[in-house]
Amino acid sequence: MSDRGIFTEKMIGSLDERILECDHGSGLHIQIIPKKGFKRKFAVITTDFGSIDIEYTRNGELRTLPEGTAHFLEHKMYEQPDVDVMSRFAALGADCNAATGFSRTYYYFSCTDNFDECLDLLIKQVAEPYFTKENVEKEKGIIIQEINMYLDDPFYVGEQDLMRLLYKNNPVKNEIAGTEESVRSITPEILYECHDAFYRPSNMCLTVVGDVNASSVHDAVERSGLSHGNSDDIAKILPHEPRETAGKYFTRRMETSLPIFNLGFKADPLPYTGIKRVMRRHAGNIMRELVFGPSSELYKELYENGCINYEFYASYDIERDYSMFSVTGESEKISEILDRVREHINRLLRTGVDSRRFRIMRNAMTGSELRSFDSVSYIGRMFGQYYLQGSDAFDYFTSCGKITEYDVNDVISEVLGGDMAVSVVERSEGSK
């Protein structure tokens, strides 16, 4: 059977790129972005399940998961009764890894040779869980050690303090890995239940990027014997999140060379779905660079006055269940920074961004996004992510140049015009 007989094809002339897509009988969506002549190949299975998905209904019955379940499950999916998955990938000459986020979990590999064998292994790894009381108990110690390591990092702790200031109810305020108490409560039965509910093929997407044969990818999915899944009705539940922040200011002391600050704002993601969310993400990222980036007036002012060093960066996120903007840095002059930031935001709310600088930044970011299409791993994860959000990833790469000055000023008004929360990690006594 030809590739064309299995897949539908979409061309994006402005990028000179195409995507092949099909829905396998199991419910798994398959995407292939051909890269003729590329030596490196990349495959990722993305599942629409992350750390914030701790409450859901199954056929109307409420289920609650311990915090950190999605992350724990990710760790255990590398264990099979007959093979060490990571060692097998390495023996095939492939690099493999996984990542758990707030809304999704990724399992991926990249290789130059033995692609078919690696793809078989990836699908088997994700589709066939193997949990025992012994291997789950062993993993608890590993994950608790990981949690404690993060809790010794003042930058991480400051970020988590900010999340708890921003969010009152949304589980995005919780650590992705959970707490020691929640991790100890996880059992093989919980993991099997979780896998059955959220790792069904219809809740996942397989994305392949590289010089590959599309029919061979389809054949690999066929060989896997993926279950068509059960017909249970699964519905995720998130608590209502008020518009106002849960708190305004929090400080603690830790071992750190300089005090660390985090500024944050939250917004409502619900009005933005599909292409609207894609456009909002671009507008927010342009705003981030215009207002807080290294070429911004505020950055230059803070740097020249000795308020910040190169550990100063901003981030904008808009996902299906949360949206936020944050700024992180280290400084001896945090009070002065807060005053200057508030003054600068108030001025922007009155005047908007500079038109010339906006056009320069939009063009620069458009070029950067188009160049990233040569990274097989970057576009692989992007296409899986956007498919599960109900968007077309091609829109992401082609829409940045369509952002207007109005779009950016609207983000400033909605996001930076809201309440600001501040978390600070001061030096403990004796820190240098």
Yes or no: say if 363 and 370 are a contact pair by the CB < 8 Å rule. no
Contact present, 123 and 224 (Cβ < 8 Å): yes
Give the active site residue among 21, 74, 319, 330: 74
Asked about 343 being catalytic, the answer comes back as no
Closest CA to 131 of 67, 54, 196, 79: 79
Is the dihedral angle over the CA atoms 263, 269, 272, 273 positive or is it negative? positive
Sheet containing strand 312-318, edge to edge, reads 249-254, 421-427, 260-267, 323-330, 312-318
Distance CA 313, CA 326 (A): 8
State residue 144 phi and psi, 5-degree precision: -65, -40
Cα distance between residue 273 and residue 280, in whole Å: 9
Q: Which residues pair with 18 in a beta bridge?
A: 11
Which residue numbers are catalytic? Answer: 74
